[in-house]
């Protein structure tokens, strides 16, 4: 799912076209800022990606772009806030993969995932990095970790970004395939999950490379495997989960942009162009790639389709395994 990188001449042409067509925000009569509602605390993948794109998005949109963190309740607080916001293109949800999973994990939500939002763009996707406390976990890769976990059934635990999160589902799938027990400890986002591993509250976590990069570089967290179909260029010596004895295994987290239902189609299309233009600006594309994100930049129908596909995939997994997605 690779997107072409714009060269400098194309990027300049895009900016000029934006200014000429009103793409640069001339339609905003009240000059209201664009608010990106991030459903997790600072330090997690959605926060990192939002702050990378924020300056260029503001330039292309011709108005201030404000990143607001509204963590809590496995992303329900931010999601409900956007669902109830005015459908004017000024308040957008920066969703995580939990947007597709919450309808499975939660018996009752304060919004309808499929009726209360309209897709703007699937911004990026990325494999998870399984990162362990480098001091207290001796395994060098996932294969060694599984062997040790089998020999010591109550020894290890893992931090997720919340009950029913993608990293919980991915780790539970690995546990099922490996027939091992690793205790699940849910936290309220990527930042707290990293701190749990650093403090040896849990043995490991599964997050984006962007969220773990600093601690990996510092030698405090050891990457055991990545969940994508191929190794990360930034971690060439770290095997995929498939290479560690789980053939065909592949899982990606993703970040999507959604507007409240009822937002005019022309407004949604303008927002899509603004996000796509931002994501394909060479310096932004490069920063996202270096952080371990794969730039997608789909249109609105594309992210709506992906949302439904992810919902169906993990709903079937939960049903087939009778997995309890505890609160």
**137-190 pLDDT per residue, tens:** 999 999 999 999 999 999 999 999 888 889 999 999 999 999 999 999 999 888
> Does residue 296 share a domain with residue 238?
no
- Residue 110 placed within a domain: yes
Last residue of a domain, one of 231, 250, 269: 250
pLDDT at 30 over 80: no
What stretch of H or E contains 309?
helix 300-321
- Indicate if 238 and 274 belong to the same structural domain: no
Q: What pLDDT is stored for residue 107 in this prediction? A: 84
Give the domain-ending residue among 190, 219, 250. Answer: 250
For residue 241, is pLDDT > 70? yes
Instruction: Give domain status of residue 1, yes or no.
Output: no
Residues 262 and 121 grouped into a single domain: yes
Considering the domain architecture, whether residues 107 and 186 belong to the same structural domain is answered as no
CATH code of 177's domain: 3.40.190.10
Same domain, 152 and 58: no
User: What CATH number should be reported for the domain holding residue 282?
Assistant: 3.40.190.150
327 within some domain:
no
Q: Tell me, yes or no, whether 246 and 133 share the same domain.
A: yes
Q: Which pLDDT does position 326 carry in this prediction?
A: 61
Please give the structure tokens belonging to residue 201: 């509250």
pLDDT at position 247: 96
DSSP string, 118-161: EEEEEEEEEE-EEEEETTT---SSHHHHHHHHHHSTTS-EEEES
Among the listed ranges 10-14, 261-265, 278-282, which one has the minimum average pLDDT value? 10-14
Rounded CA-CA distance 255/120 in Å is 11
Within this chain, do residues 171 and 219 fall inside the same structural domain, yes or no? Answer: yes
CA distance 235 to 224: 10
Q: Are residues 74 and 162 both part of a single domain?
A: no
Low-confidence winner among 5-14, 71-80, 178-187 (lowest mean pLDDT): 5-14
Give the pLDDT mean for 60-83. Answer: 95
Longest dimension (CA), the chain: 66
pLDDT in tens, 91-150: 999 998 989 999 998 889 999 999 999 999 999 999 999 999 999 999 999 999 999 999
Q: Specify the pLDDT at position 292.
A: 87
User: Does a structural domain hold residue 92?
Assistant: yes
Q: Which residues contact 191 (CB under 8 A, 6 or more apart)?
A: 40, 41, 42, 43, 44, 47, 211
What's the chain's average pLDDT?
90
Number of domains in the chain: 2
Judge if 17 and 122 occupy the same domain.
yes
Q: Where are the beta strands (DSSP E) in the chain?
A: 34-38, 65-69, 91-95, 117-127, 129-133, 157-160, 183-186, 204-207, 221-226, 252-260, 294-295
Residue-level pLDDT at 151: 96
Q: Are residues 61 and 206 in the same domain?
A: no
Instruction: From 138, 45, 129, 145, select the one nearest 95 (Cα to Cα).
Output: 45
- Half-sphere exposure of 190 toward its Cβ, with a 13 Å CA cutoff? 31
C-alpha distances in angstroms, 268 versus 61, 81, 98, 259, 274?
13, 18, 22, 8, 10
Residue 22 has pLDDT above 80, yes or no: no
pLDDT in tens, 219-235: 999 999 999 999 999 99
Strand pairing report for 204-207 and 129-133 = antiparallel
Q: Last residue of a domain, which of 250, 276, 301? A: 250
Residue 195 confidence class, pLDDT cut points 50, 70, 90:
very high
Does 120 lie in the same domain as 26? yes
Domain containing residue 175: 129-250
pLDDT of residue 4: 40
For residues 209 and 233, state if they share a domain: yes
Tell if the pTM clears 0.95, that is, is over it: no
């Amino acid at each position: 799912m690779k997107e072409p990188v714009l060269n400098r001449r194309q990027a300049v042409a895009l900016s000029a076209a934006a200014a000429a067509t009103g793409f640069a925000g001339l339609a905003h009569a009240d000059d209201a800022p664009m608010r990106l509602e991030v459903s997790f605390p600072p330090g997690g993948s959605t926060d990192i990606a939002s702050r990378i794109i924020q300056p260029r998005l503001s330039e292309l949109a011709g108005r201030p772009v404000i990143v607001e963190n509204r963590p809590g309740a496995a992303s329900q607080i931010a999601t409900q806030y956007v669902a109830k916001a005015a459908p004017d293109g000024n308040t957008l949800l920066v969703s995580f993969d939990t947007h597709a999973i919450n309808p499975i994990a939660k018996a009752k939500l304060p919004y309808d995932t499929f009726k209360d939002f309209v897709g703007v763009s699937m911004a990026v996707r990325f494999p998870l990095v399984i990162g362990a406390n480098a001091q207290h976990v001796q395994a060098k890769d996932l294969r060694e970790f599984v062997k040790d976990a089998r020999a010591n059934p109550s020894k290890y635990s893992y931090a997720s970004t919340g009950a029913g999160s993608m990293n919980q589902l991915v780790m539970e799938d690995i546990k099922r395939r490996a027939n091992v027990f690793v205790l699940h400890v849910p936290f309220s986002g990527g930042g707290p999950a990293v701190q749990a591993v650093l403090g040896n509250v849990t043995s490991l976590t599964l997050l984006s490379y962007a969220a773990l990069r600093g601690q990996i570089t510092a030698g405090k967290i050891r990457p055991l495997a990545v969940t994508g179909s191929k190794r990360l260029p930034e971690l060439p010596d770290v095997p995929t989960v498939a290479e560690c004895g789980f053939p065909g295994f592949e899982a990606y987290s993703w970040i999507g942009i959604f507007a409240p239902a009822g937002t005019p189609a022309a407004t949604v299309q303008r927002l899509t162009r603004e996000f796509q233009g931002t994501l394909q600006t060479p310096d932004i594309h490069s920063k996202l790639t270096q952080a371990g994100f794969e730039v997608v930049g789909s249109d609105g129908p594309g992210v709506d389709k992906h949302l439904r596909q992810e919902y169906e995939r993990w709903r079937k997994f939960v049903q087939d395994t009778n997995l309890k997605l505890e609160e």
